[in-house]
Structure 1
Amino acid sequence: MNLILEEIRKKNEKVFKTFFDKHYKDLVTYAYGYLYDKASSEDVVQDVFIYIWEHAESLKIETSLKGYLYSMVRNRCLNFLKSIKITDNYEFLEFNINLITEHVFDSNSEEEKKIVYHQILKIVDTLPEKMQQVVKLKFLHNYKYSEIASELDISINTVKTQLKRAKLKITEMVTGLLILLQINH
């Protein structure tokens, strides 16, 4: 791998292109696990490759170049998520911790909890409108079932059904994210 970096330092475009082609797709998939957005994932990975090309001379890589790539992509994904203002508190995230095995989540850092939280909010935004309203009233505003039913003019059973369906969808998607986070440790 150090030979590749040496060639990139010499501005060998052919070696760089081969290196790019070999790792680009896997890195975009890796970034997507954090961002859940294809375009943003592609942008992050392209930025990393541009950085490597432009700063090859000053790079000090202690591990492998591939490991360095993945670390850079991960860090840029985390920075991207930090740049998005998360306005809600963590109550909604705490609700979802109960949905997922606690021993898996306990080992995650605060930063990874923020990632999961951000992804949960994105998942909630993809739910059907009525389901979104029920979930947000329950877990962001701490409404009781009866208050939600009254507010939305639906039955308490409908509130419970909507919450069960939402939990299933959220759990399914968050579990995939947590598996990715565990793999990367």
Structure 2
Amino acid sequence: MNRAIPSGNNEIKLTRERFDGIYIAYFSRLCSFARTYVLSDETAENIVQNVFLFLWEKHYALRISTSISTYLYTLVKNKCIDHLRHQRIAQEYRTEQSLKLAALEQLDTELISGEDLEKTVMAAIDRLPAKCREIFILSRVEGKKYREISQLLGISVNTVENQMSIALRKLRKDLEHLL
């Protein structure tokens, strides 16, 4: 059962054909709009795809008090803002973790010899779950970027970021006595 979706003063019933027409009419314009926020074609397209997926999945329950155009642009803008907030938080976390890892690497040799430190850190790395360990080594030891790792392992960049967060959190906890 499809309910009507108001478009300005007119109500439209969101059938598959109507949805396809809206998609064709707005997809490229919304992608261009999203690119002004996120600066990545791939991210912009993903955001717009998610907005259309939301629209289709919820079309029977939506009540839109503005035009479909205004509604779509508002959804895209809000999704872009959510994405940027997530990116900022993830970047702040990565920066914090990098600083802590750098601090570990610069430990005073009087406190622990370089060889002992290396053994301690390697033992902590060895205790990581297999996937975390693999991703951590590819990133921190081999110097690969997250995108390279995701392509190499056939996983998403988001999964790489999450696994690195887990690895760094476990290493920080394991090695906190050295700080």
Using structure 2 for the length normalisation, give the TM-score: 0.44
Higher strand content, 1 or 2:
2
Structure of larger gyration radius: 2
